[in-house]
Amino acid sequence: MRVHIIVNPVSGGGRGVKLAGALRAALEGRGLSCHLERTLQAGHARQLAGGSDANCVAVVGGDGTVNEVLNGLAEGGRMLAVLPSGTANVVARELGIPRNAEVVARCIAEARTRRMDVGRCGERRFLLGAGAGLDAEVVRRLSLRRGRRSSVLHWVPPALATFLHYDFPPIRATVDGRVASESAQYAIVGNCRYSAGIFPITPEARPDDGLLDVCLIHQVSLLRLLRLLTAVWRPGFTKRDDVVYLQGREVVFEPAGDEAAPLQVDGDPAGRLPARFGILPRAVELVTPQGRRRSS
């Protein structure tokens, strides 16, 4: 087996390079052939993945780097492995992948994989989900001030600025051809449970059920938002009067007024609404400790 390791050297405050080296050593210790490359700029991971002929592409980085590699890989045939070294690492959390090079190397060597759905927004593919409104504005502000390294503290100023100044323009949401809301102020599409890094805002989402989960939040204010940040962890969140929760295969978010809400996909800025989402069932084979041994 040939493994192509792609590392984002600034992920998680720069720890990615050390983790990538440990992964390479662990894989070579198991007799696997490895090729390691560092990304040089935004978009480079996608280019590297697109040119790879390895059996397995291993990403050492955060969710943004994973998304780039996902969008660079040709469909079918290759395994995708993740060694988390980013800030949120939602893909790794969802699949139970530890920040441990030895464990990830063993799973690659044993070809332990799980099929996972892939969402799409236009031509862009995603594993986690997308958000229109609040979290997208935080991501947009963060992208304007990102330096060489990223950490949790980098999120604080743009998050505070968004909470204080964002206007919450209304969003029209359509799911499988039926209008679900004409006045949502925060709209999330989830392939996994977590959004904004740590919040299980689509708690019923399963990454292999062939469906997208949609959470639409209404009547948003700063006080309500603070309450929601705690309510999201409790049973019954999806039954609240100010929440509409449903599942589907085709989702459309559009402006319901003069202002178009910002959009993020897998934690990266993606412009503004409108946006159309779909699902590609079980379209990617991910290496995970809970996976089954891949048949040769």
pTM: 0.91
Q: Which of 270, 280, 278, 273 is nearest to 255 (CA)?
A: 273
* Domain regions of the chain by residue span: 2-111, 126-281
Residue with tokens 């743009």: 158
d(Cα 210, Cα 117) in Å, to the nearest integer? 6
Tens of pLDDT along the chain (296 residues) come to 999 999 999 887 788 999 999 999 999 999 999 999 999 998 999 999 999 999 999 999 999 999 999 999 987 679 999 999 988 898 998 899 999 999 999 999 999 999 999 999 999 999 999 999 989 998 898 888 655 455 566 767 877 878 778 899 999 999 999 999 999 999 999 999 987 667 899 999 999 999 999 999 999 887 887 888 889 999 899 999 999 999 999 999 999 999 999 999 998 899 999 999 999 999 999 999 989 887 65
* Residue 57 exposed, middle or buried by CB count within 10 Å (0-12, 13-18, 19+): buried
Q: In this structure, what DSSP letter does residue 74 have?
A: P
Decide if domain 2-111 falls under CATH 3.40.50.300.
Answer: no
Phi then psi dihedrals of residue 271, to 5 deg: 80, -145
Pairing of strands 2-7, 129-132: unpaired
CATH topology of domain 126-281: Tumour Suppressor Smad4 (2.60.200)
